[in-house]
Amino acid sequence: MKYTAELDINAMTEEGSIYTVSEEPYSALEFIRFSPKRGEIQPGERQAIRFALRKPSGLEHGEYRAIVRISSELAPTEGGNVNLASKLAYSLPIIVRHGEVFVESALVEPSTVMHNGALNIQVWVTRKGNRSLFGNFSVETPDGKVLGVMNNVAVYRPLERRRVLIPLQEIEKGPVIIKYTENKKFGGDLVLAVEHTLE
């Protein structure tokens, strides 16, 4: 299998879509070096990619981001008259946090909406500060019954708000609590909640 790796930068829309950009004020591209950038891996083998971080002096406190894109191509396999080959691509975020980082956030404007033919709770997540958010959402009844979840939701700096849709696996009319918990593995400890009513 042959592979290539490259660094890129991206941005996020309020709907949560990710797109590639050529410039980003909080890019980490200039801080990161890595190797090897391409190679070939035989079946059963592994390849480690080593990264080095060198932050410039006088760097403003805050969070900086890049994406490493790894593309691989499997050699064609022959079976009878059929020739098969496959290409795979992976995108992994690289987050660099420097100095004092902070964030303020709230859950606002909850509502009940139809999305792709299913009932969802919609909520907006606001973000202020010099770092991103990354965590999990749940919709629960006052007695703790979970009606829906949405995990691994990011709100990347410098985005100031993002719309989140939480699909409901169960529906119970009445008051519910929308909860957000930051993933501690990504350096956050925020816990947020807002009330809503299912009618």
Q: Which of 4-13, 83-92, 129-138, 148-157 shows the lowest mean pLDDT across its residues?
A: 83-92
Question: Taking the model in full, what pTM does it have?
Answer: 0.84
For 96, the enclosing helix (H) or strand (E) is strand 82-98
Instruction: Say whether pLDDT at 33 is over 80.
Output: yes
Give the pLDDT band (50/70/90) at residue 186: confident
Average pLDDT over residues 71-92: 69
Give the pLDDT band (50/70/90) at residue 54: very high
Q: Write the CB contacts of 93 (distance below 8 Å, at least 6 apart in sequence).
A: 65, 66, 67, 154
Q: Who has greater pLDDT, 154 or 89?
A: 154
Instruction: Say whether pLDDT at 43 is over 60.
Output: yes
From the CB of residue 13, how many other CB atoms can be counted at a distance below 10 Å?
11
From the CB of residue 39, how many other CB atoms can be counted at a distance below 10 Å?
13
Give residue 78's pLDDT: 55
Which residue is associated with the tokens 């947020």?
Answer: 192
Average pLDDT over residues 100-114: 97
Give residue 1's pLDDT: 81
Q: Dihedral of the CA atoms 72, 73, 79, 80 (nearest 10)?
A: 160
Question: What's the mean per-residue pLDDT of the chain?
Answer: 91
How does 62-87 read in b/e, with b if 16+ C-beta sit within 10 Å? bbbbbbbebebeeeeeeeeeeeeeee
Q: Provide, rounded to the nearest whole percent, the portion of the chain with pLDDT above 70.
A: 93
Q: Who has greater pLDDT, 199 or 146?
A: 146
Instruction: Say whether pLDDT at 199 is over 80.
Output: yes
Antiparallel, parallel or unpaired: β 133-140 and 82-98: unpaired
Which residue is associated with the tokens 């949560």?
Answer: 16
